[in-house]
Amino acid sequence: MSDLRIQQPDGDSALKDWQYVHNVIIPTQRLSLDEVRERTQRHHLEVAYLGDELMGCSTVRPPTDETLTATVIARVLAAHRGQGFGEELYARGLNRARELGAQVIETVVLSSNEDGLRFAQRHGFVETERYLLPGDTIPWIDLRLA
């Protein structure tokens, strides 16, 4: 994994890469570039490359003062799954969440993303809720690190 490079998006090119991975893995909630820019103001975003090839992205939603719960989401494009890249993105996200003061770690997975659900469960996450957002037909699954 020596060619693996993970960084915060530092311009429109990297933001477009983050947007692309998000929209491929979460087709029910496609984000515009402006929406991605807005997310950088609230969340910690990273984009991952293998050499020059885009392979994934991550999001850490910081803990709120009330709950001390952070959400960590790692996304890896299908061609790069099963090679440890999700592990690296997840570990970085988990570390970042804890640096931000998180006492509880959650994640959220689109139920159609069976690979993502298996990854979360293998890493100790337990399902807490399934729900549909307005207009969606595919349920979301909230999971909490046990």
Query: Where do the structural domains in the chain lie, given as residue ranges?
Result: 4-145
66 pLDDT tier (thresholds 50, 70, 90): confident
Coil, strand, or helix at residue 134?
coil
Kindly report, residue by residue over 103-125, the tens digit of the pLDDT: 999 999 999 999 999 999 999 99
CATH superfamily of 4-145: Gcn5-related N-acetyltransferase (GNAT) (3.40.630.30)
Instruction: Tell me the sheet residues that pair with 11.
Output: none
* Nearest alpha carbon to residue 75 among 146, 19, 15, 126: 19
pLDDT at 83: 92
Q: How confident is the prediction for the chain on average, in pLDDT?
A: 95
Q: Are 16 and 33 in contact (CB under 8 A)?
A: yes
User: What share of the chain has pLDDT > 90, as a percent?
Assistant: 90
Q: Alpha-carbon distance 125 to 48, whole Å? A: 23
pLDDT at 65: 80
Q: Is the pLDDT of residue 70 over 90?
A: yes
Dihedral sign from CA coordinates of 28, 104, 75, 13 = positive
pLDDT at 1: 57
Q: Is the pLDDT of residue 2 over 80?
A: no
